Amino acid sequence: MRKYLIAGNWKMNSAPGGAFDPGSPYQAHADIDVVVFPTYLDLERCIKAKIISGPQFGHIEEHGAHTGDISLKMCKDLGSIYCLCGHSDRRGEHSETSEEVAAQVTAALEYGLHPIVCIGETLEQKQAGKTEEVLKEMMAPLPLESDITIAYEPVWAISRGDPDTPAATPDDAQNMHALIRSLLPKDRRSVTRILYGGSMKPDNAEALLSQPDIDGGLVGGASLKPEAFQEIVDAASKLTK
């Protein structure tokens, strides 16, 4: 059985009020894995508050002449457990290639961080019938035989501040997750977790999470609202019982 993992991606937003209080929905959970990706500025506070967390991006080198960057190693030394790699914001705004994302995943593993690597097609690619090709291209350079987590995030479903953005339907998401699982090495298919990301909210979390190949969620907008995030955590927890 793969344990559910619900991750909050706070993106370039400050920690929600009360996030560091004992008993906040971001705290480690008894039944499922709960993880938060804050900005670097809130990372140490998360770690001190015993929130399982990590950076949204980290440089692959340990240190050096990289103005403005922070390394995965530094985040690990601070107490990070996870890291996010290849979010579509990074692939888009920072032109990260699939090879560069794979290098981050490999570096993260080397430093002892657990990478959650994001893959997903844009609306344009979907409309051109290129989804499968895009996912294969993003997965090809990844160390899929290693202990990593994949987040399927169709870019067209990511809310980017618009709460009316439609998520993928549970059936469509399931089909994509099954496809991604079939692209994993045989001996990793039953163990590698594949999260869904893109407008996961309290009202669709249970339907998405109950799909056989959906092992959790990477939650953006709703992770900034503690009550909404709590409801998503509760939905996953209920499904484990």
Nearer to ligand PGA, 66 or 160 (CB): 160
Q: What are phi and psi of 182, to 5 degrees?
A: -70, -20
- Long-range Cβ contact pairs of 131-138 (< 8 A, separation 24 or more): 131/176, 132/179, 135/176, 135/179, 135/180, 135/183, 136/183, 137/98, 138/86, 138/98, 138/101
Positions annotated as catalytic residues are: 87, 153
In the block, tokens 């888009």 appear at 92
Nearer to ligand PGA, 107 or 222 (CB): 222
Shortest CB 224 distance to ligand PGA, Å = 9
Residue nearest to ligand PGA as judged by C-beta position: 220
Nearer to ligand PGA, 174 or 223 (CB): 223
Classify each residue of 154-179 as buried b or exposed e, where b means 16 or more C-beta atoms within 10 Å of its C-beta. Answer: bbbbbbeeeeeeebbebeebbebbee
Shortest CB 159 distance to ligand PGA, Å = 3
Shortest CB 211 distance to ligand PGA, Å = 17
Using CB under 6 A, list all residues that contact ligand PGA: 9, 153, 158-159, 197-200, 218-222
